[in-house]
Amino acid sequence: MFAKIGLAITFSPTGKALLKEAVRLQKLFDSQLVLIHVGEKNSETEKLLDETIENAGIYKNQLETIWEQGDPANTIINCSKDAKIDLLVAGALEKESLVKYYRDSISRKIMRELQTSSLILKNPSEQPVSFKKFCVSADYSPQCEKTISAAFHFALKENAEEFVIIKNFYVPGITLTIQEGGSPKEIDSMIEQLKNEEEEKMKLFVNELNLQGLDIKIVCIYGKEGWEDSNYARTNASDIFAVTSPEKKMRFLDRLFPHEIEYSFETLPTNLLIIK
């Protein structure tokens, strides 16, 4: 599924933890591991990298290392494309100021513009463990079929205990009903009916994918798209929250009037799997 896993390697404590997480995934998927280091290659940095690799319990001949200099985000994006990486592992976003958010941090730019799938780890550990609880944000698009299938096969590899597909839906007309004097009981009944209809539609959609080996739970939630499914993943203590990457490159206006995936980027409810 992920034949080639990439990691933008640094020499920080977080970088060491990320490498151990990447090594675990490389073994899980029987993949090739590619390390990308943005910075000068000299005797000192080579020694640091060798020590980091050795500490992770692997040998240099078991992986490919790419050394490049330049803008970090663009370099990582271009190297991932050139190396034909299937999954890029990266660390979670640090809390950012509004100015930094709109100017693009390295991590956000990678998440928006990377042309491959990525796994953003919120709290990477030097003693990594398998992911047991998966949540997938779903719609009815062909691209989402790929997201659900990829997350499901990931969950199978992990012998996951829980696999939840979340359909977030919102109907503006209900707000008008409230304004026109609809009773709370009528509104609740309307939302419950819509929820049942969405669940039946999603069951049909998922059945077409013929996924076997794990029980699948379907949850339909009424509310603001992008918020409710992220909140479910957070409150449910999920290990992985899988989302479909937008088809188009997001522009500045998408951050002023966010695409629903931006809510996941901003709040990072848990480890985030972005499927291209």
Structural domains present in the chain = 1-125 (3.40.50.620), 130-276 (3.40.50.620)
Element (H, E) at 23: helix 13-29
pLDDT tens digits, residue range 62-80? Answer: 799 999 999 888 999 999 9
pLDDT at 55: 85
pLDDT value at position 205? 96
Query: What is the reported pLDDT for 33?
Result: 95
pLDDT tens per residue, range 76-102 = 999 999 999 999 998 875 444 333 433
Q: What is the pLDDT of residue 66?
A: 94
Question: Which among 166, 245, 242 has a CA at the least distance from the CA of 202?
Answer: 166
Q: Highest mean pLDDT: which of 74-83, 175-184, 247-256?
A: 74-83
Mean pLDDT of the chain: 84
More confident residue, 207 or 182: 207
Inter-residue contact 81 to 118 (CB < 8 Å): no
Q: What is the pLDDT of residues 185-207, one digit of tens each?
A: 777 788 888 899 999 999 999 99
Given this model, what pLDDT does residue 266 score? 58
Taking 90 as the threshold, does the pLDDT of residue 214 lie above it?
yes
Which residues, at least 6 apart from 28, have a Cβ–Cβ distance to it below 8 Å? Answer: 130, 157, 158
Q: Burial code of 47-73, b = ≥16 C-beta within 10 A, e = fewer?
A: ebbeebbeebebeeeebebbbbeeebb
- pTM recorded for the entire structure: 0.86
pLDDT digits (tens, 9 = 90+) for 38-68: 988 999 999 988 888 888 888 777 799 999 9
Q: What is the pLDDT of residue 100?
A: 40
Which is higher by pLDDT, 16 or 130? Answer: 130
Phi-psi group of 116: left, alpha or beta (phi > 0 → left; psi -120 to 50 → alpha; rest → beta): beta
- The pLDDT value given to residue 247: 64
Q: What is the pLDDT of residues 3-32, one digit of tens each?
A: 999 998 888 878 889 999 999 999 999 999
Is 70 exceeded by the pLDDT of residue 169? yes
